[in-house]
Amino acid sequence: MTSAMDNRQAHGPLVLSIDAMGSDRGPATIVAGLSAFARKHRDVRFLLHGPEAELRPLVDKHKGLPAQVEIRDASGVVSMEDKPSHVMRNGQDTSMWSTVDAVRNREATVAVSCGNTGALMLLSMVRLRKLPGVNRPAIAVLWPSRNPQGYNVMLDVGADIRADADDLLKYAMMGASYARNGLNLERPRIGLLNVGTEEHKGRAELKAAHELIAANAEAGSFDYVGFVEGGDIPGKRCDVIVTDGFTGNIALKTGEGTASLINSLLREAFTYSPLSRLAALLALSSLKRLQARVDPRRKNGGVFLGLNGTVVKSHGAADATGVAAAVELAYDLAQSGFGDRLAARVASAAASADTEATADPAEATDTKKNGTGI
Amino acid sequence: MTSAMDNRQAHGPLVLSIDAMGSDRGPATIVAGLSAFARKHRDVRFLLHGPEAELRPLVDKHKGLPAQVEIRDASGVVSMEDKPSHVMRNGQDTSMWSTVDAVRNREATVAVSCGNTGALMLLSMVRLRKLPGVNRPAIAVLWPSRNPQGYNVMLDVGADIRADADDLLKYAMMGASYARNGLNLERPRIGLLNVGTEEHKGRAELKAAHELIAANAEAGSFDYVGFVEGGDIPGKRCDVIVTDGFTGNIALKTGEGTASLINSLLREAFTYSPLSRLAALLALSSLKRLQARVDPRRKNGGVFLGLNGTVVKSHGAADATGVAAAVELAYDLAQSGFGDRLAARVASAAASADTEATADPAEATDTKKNGTGI
């Protein structure tokens, strides 16, 4: 088995692996988003996976892009309806498979795909394999919040429908790493999602996780704020919300659905009468400012954590702006060496758990001295 | 044991049992809300529970109210911090106990309280007892939605953190009853909350509940749309969302938190510059229209279902408008004979489940003929 610490790219330009297929809007949108990002980062290179005959003209349309892109011909496409197990058995020729394998082969640091989440997760798990010490990988998202950084991290939002106490501890470690690298928080505050903040509430595995996460806060260089509630996901009590993938998925979609309903009602309210349409015109810049703060496209991308390699899952319906945001996220994570840092951190947690969850002050201090904690 | 069908009030004016204490804003707010409702319904009578010396002057301030109100002196107050089990052991002198017992003694049809949810649930369960066939009672709420009726029903939002397949079936029956009586939907569409709409997804108890609810749709006079996702809670795919109390509580609070964040950001956006403040002035009526649609005060109140008697839990922070809405909801449910209808419906489901979940067409047809399905 490959050690996670060996999983570094050779020196040279930073390379990202991009799945051109699987978007609801087609490959032209992916290439447009890629080009928007590439214009600002001419030193980054891309492996772009999909049918070459289709992709070549799309890439050639964007000035400067061809020099940054190497197309990897792959004729198969994973559709949103394909069962993950079917893709795993028969998907060797697909662009998704090729995208993930470029990270597996260390040709690229981070993979980005808009495709079928279940298939992407299963492919990533099998091809990249789980990090030592991780039983269940997780999908983490950024969520608009009242915190100064504007976003909170929530995980798992759907990699697995179950999580035991040890999984939740690993999610806390991984979420803290992600918040440090993705949101620049030196010492993220972790909350464990529950139906109340009292210690006696909730399911048995949550009480066990509560103890375990508290005991590992020092080793993980995070602060543990204890149980938090649904209202704290967009709140400011903590920076990272830890939960199982069933609950996290439902919370994510409930939040998105509520935001979308309010958005529709806001539009309705502003087209109700001539006066309200005039008001809307005047309010345009205010409404745009609001939109920018809660626009999911600005922070598009769930990140698969706990594997030998980082995979960014972009929304299937993302437009070019959304794709560019997902690629930007992949770039940020690749540049900070996030994958290796996360692996080292989880390994230390695993070791720490092996010695009965005692904190290792030496490790924590060392991390602080470097000023580059994962 | 008392049969649920005997649980009718004697002929005479409709009586509601109101807990004057336990609100974050104090009893004056409760009385003000009660008075606002009472002005529109001079034929309704109220049993108002709390310290008489404190309540009498509050009631006397509202013209016409004293004639409708009978104060039931109770010196004790359940605080938000009190443990439910403590209230159960030592709370006989509290206004909450007295409020619930008035329904138990059939002096009133529906109880309303703003107090501690856990204590109110436990008191209601012990004093009113569960309906035959119900293992876990549920709390149902109305949620702003894209449906024509403007609201969907969701349950359970926190009565119990667990629910097995049979509990979820009972929630479907009870939720359908509530939608018929609270939202005037003749044949509500029921959805079972899951992380995907595919039949193979989700936890084992959800797959079992899926079969069970589908098999009882005819007997329950509802349509079953299958699995729904978090985004469907404010959506239009179904009218009633069935889930366990852990998931439902987190979804409810996530939705409330998201709406509240957007509300704050909207205010910020409209006070950003002189121009945006002018726009806000012009947009005032539009924004008020939006506010009215998502204002939780308009549909304030979780309803405890599955007990021998109906209890409405108002939000602890509700203002007079919110309290009036909770009393209005209690009135609507009392007037439609909801409690008895629900009991009959659940009893029929229990009987139906006993005979291996076969639908009883006779019962369903009978209900339809009456045109007054529960």
Domains A1-134+306-335 and A135-298+337-374 share a fold: yes
B265 contact residues in A (CB cutoff 8 A): 290, 293-294
Q: Which long-range contacts (CB under 8 A, 24 or more apart) does B348-355 make?
A: B348/B219, B349/B133, B349/B169, B349/B170, B349/B173, B349/B216, B349/B219, B349/B220, B350/B132, B350/B133, B352/B216, B352/B219, B353/B133, B353/B166, B353/B169, B353/B212, B353/B216
ipTM: 0.82
Is B259 in Cβ contact with A254 (below 8 Å)?
A: no
Fold of B141-298: Isopropylmalate Dehydrogenase (3.40.718)
Contacts of A195 in chain B (CB under 8 A): 158, 161, 245-246, 249-250
Task: Give the whole-angstrom CA distance, residue A85 versus residue A81.
Answer: 12
Q: What confidence category does residue B294 fall into, taking pLDDT thresholds of 50, 70 and 90?
A: low
Contact B20, B70 (CB under 8 A): no
**Statement: residue B276 has pLDDT above 80:** no
- What amino acid occupies position A219? A
| Beta partners for residue A48, in sequence order | A18, A71
For β-strands A69-73 and A45-50, DSSP reports them as parallel
Ordered by start, the domain boundaries in chain A are 1-134+306-335, 135-298+337-374
Element (H, E) at A192: strand A189-193
- DSSP secondary structure, A224-252, as one string: EEEEE-GGGTTSSS-SEEE--HHHHHHHH
- CB-based contact A282 B285, cutoff 8 Å: no
Nearest to A263 by CA among A233, A295, A301, A286: A295
Cis-peptide into A156, omega within 30 deg: yes
Q: Is A160 on the interface with B (CB under 8 A)?
A: no
Superfamily name and number for B1-134+306-335: Isopropylmalate Dehydrogenase (3.40.718.10)
Strand partners, B69: B46
Distance, CA of B73 to CA of B10 (rounded, Å) = 23
Contact B25, B319 (CB under 8 A): yes
What SS3 class is residue B341?
helix
Would you state the torsion angle of the CA atoms of residues B186, B187, B188, B194, taken in this order, to the nearest 10 degrees? 170
Q: Smallest Cβ distance to A272: which of B253, B279, B286?
A: B286
- From chain A residues 263-292, the ones with a CB under 8 A of any chain B CB are 264-266, 268-270, 272-273, 275-276, 278-280, 282-283, 285-287, 289-290
Q: Model confidence over B69-123: pLDDT tens digits?
A: 999 999 999 998 999 999 999 999 999 999 999 999 999 999 999 999 989 999 9
Q: Which percentage of chain B shows pLDDT scores above 70?
A: 84
- A135-298+337-374: which CATH architecture? 3-Layer(aba) Sandwich (3.40)
pLDDT mean values, one per 10 residues, chain A (374 residues): 40 90 94 96 97 97 96 95 93 97 96 94 95 93 90 92 94 94 92 82 87 93 95 95 95 88 79 73 70 64 92 91 93 85 76 46 33 36
pLDDT band at B369 (very low <50, low <70, confident <90, very high): very low
- The yes-or-no verdict on residue B225 having pLDDT over 50 is yes
